Amino acid sequence: MTDPGPCATPEVDRTRALNDALRTSLSGGSVMLTRAVAALGAEAQCEILEAVKCYDGFDAANDPYGEHDFGAVEIKGTRFFFKIDYYDRDYALASTDPADENVTCRVMTIMLAEDY
């Protein structure tokens, strides 16, 4: 169930929409796998990516700012996290406005839970 959380503003709504677009379509940003996830092989990576794309377990407890920028999925008893970070166009600093796709580069990292 999706809960926009207590911080709903137009900026948060836009940030959430951009994050959801990256997570569900794997476009609108970069997707990175940690070394441990990459070592699992293509078949496992496809399963993990599909689980992340389908994830809809956001609620006030795990998404307090309503941005849909972090979540966890479990596949065959192994827990994986995904995390979306916001960078400036040069990937040098944090974005000044994650709601503005013209100044923000999104990077979603998928990792084993123990990598976090």
| Nearest to 74, CA basis, from 55, 101, 97, 88 | 55
DSSP 92: S
34 within some domain:
yes
Residue 3 domain flag: no
Q: Quick one: tokens of 39?
A: 């070592």
* Residue 22 is assigned to a structural domain of this protein: yes
Task: Tell me whether residue 2 is in a domain.
Answer: no
Tally of structural domains, the chain: 1
Tokens of 106: 């999104």
Whether 4 maps to a domain, the answer reads no
Share of the chain above pLDDT 70, in %: 94
Q: Would 1 be classed as within a structural domain? A: no
Whole-prediction pTM value?
A: 0.91
CA gyration radius, the chain: 14
Q: Which residue segment(s) compose the domain that 16 sits in?
A: 10-115
Answer whether residue 5 shows pLDDT above 70: no
Band of pLDDT at residue 3, cut at 50, 70 and 90: very low
Q: How confident is the model at residue 6 (pLDDT cuts 50, 70, 90)?
A: low
In a domain, 93, yes or no: yes
Which of these ranges, 5-9, 25-29, 45-49, 102-106, has the smallest mean pLDDT?
5-9
Host H or E run for residue 85: strand 78-87
